[in-house]
Homo-oligomer: A and B are copies of this chain.
Amino acid sequence: MDGSSHAEDTWTVAGRTFRSRLIVGTGKYKDYAQNAAAAEAAGAEIVTVALRRVNLSDPSQPMLVDHVKPDRFTFLPNTAGCFTGEDAVRTLRLAREAGGWDLVKLEVLSNTPHLLPDMEETLRALKLLIADGFQVMVYCSDDPVYAKKLEEAGAAAIMPAAAPIGSGRGIQNALNLGLIIEQSKVPVLVDAGVGTASDAVVAMELGCDAVLMNTAIAEAKDPIRMARAMKHAVIAGREAYLAGRMPKRLYASASSPLNGLI
């Protein structure tokens, strides 16, 4: 009976509706079999596909699609490894010709050790892709002003980094993330920076629509178990957000002059 009294809780991006709010990556796992098992344990309905990193077409090598099956998961092609708008646009056009994908994830990274997104190039590439008919979910910094620009340019979803990709540091700036969620009319997904289950819960408690992660699962000591942890984490955070948390107080009974200080 758990939850039967609640209407089903879904989210919709570019006209497609999903129940799972956890998107997982491909390409960092021991092999495609482990990748598929992790996606399954995570309860994911969408997997991102790093077009430049996974084998989609060479049958003499292990192929992603033999394990992570396109009839089970929505594939979200991304532009991981692209450092210019042109690179990104070229990559996604090829993907569309090859696989018919037009719902895509744009990421244009700065060519630096920290690999943070280059927002100037990202916005430029987004405009090219929109003009070309793509539906574009956009990886971005947590700058609310740029998030607004992306939405106004036609982004299908805003995907701010919680922390540098692969850092596992969790949400660095809850304030900026909250401002983005408050202002956005398209879905907001935290992408990059999640390190463990509580990070995903915090993102969902802030009101994100979904969370995307890769390293946190792939580099856990037991990736399948961490995938399952993350499935529960995203549900926990979503339900807590919808349930409406109790207020924080100094202690149960009282207000106090300490309230302003602590």
A residues sitting closer than 8 Å to B (CB atoms) are 1-3, 5-6, 37, 40-41, 43, 110, 112-120, 123, 141-146, 148-149, 163-169, 172-176, 178-179, 182-183, 195-198, 200-202, 205-207, 215-216, 219-226, 228-233, 235-240, 242-254, 256-258, 260-262
Contact = CB atoms under 8 A, between A and B. Distances in A.
Contacts of A224: 5
Contact of A221 (B118, B141, B206, B243): B243
A144 B116 contact: yes
B182 A258 contact: yes
Contact of A117 (B145, B178, B260): B145
Name the residue among A3, A238, A261 with the largest chain B CB count within 10 angstroms.
Answer: A261
Contacts of A173: 142, 172-173, 176
B256 A182 contact: yes
A110 B247 CA distance: 23
B250 A114 contact: yes
Given A119-B119, A195-B245, A225-B239, 4 more contacts: A143-B143, A164-B251, A178-B250, A215-B246
Contact of A1 (B40, B205, B243): B40
Total copies of the chain: 4
A200 to B, nearest CB: 8
A65 B74 CA distance: 48
Contact of A251 (B166, B222, B232): B166
Contact of A249 (B167, B207, B250): B167
A116 B242 CA distance: 29
B252 A164 contact: yes
Contacts of A145: 110, 112, 116-119, 141
Contacts of A231: 2, 236
Given A119-B146, A164-B175, A252 B215 contact: yes
B174 A262 contact: yes
5 contacts: A169-B248, A169-B250, A178-B261, A220-B246, A236-B236
A236 B43 CA distance: 13
Name the residue among A5, A178, A179 with the largest chain B CB count within 10 angstroms.
Answer: A179
A196 B205 contact: yes
Given A120-B120, A145-B116, A232-B232, A252 B166 contact: yes
A261 B225 CA distance: 18
Contact of A197 (B165, B240, B252, B256): B240
Given A232-B236, A239-B232, A243-B225, A120 B118 contact: no
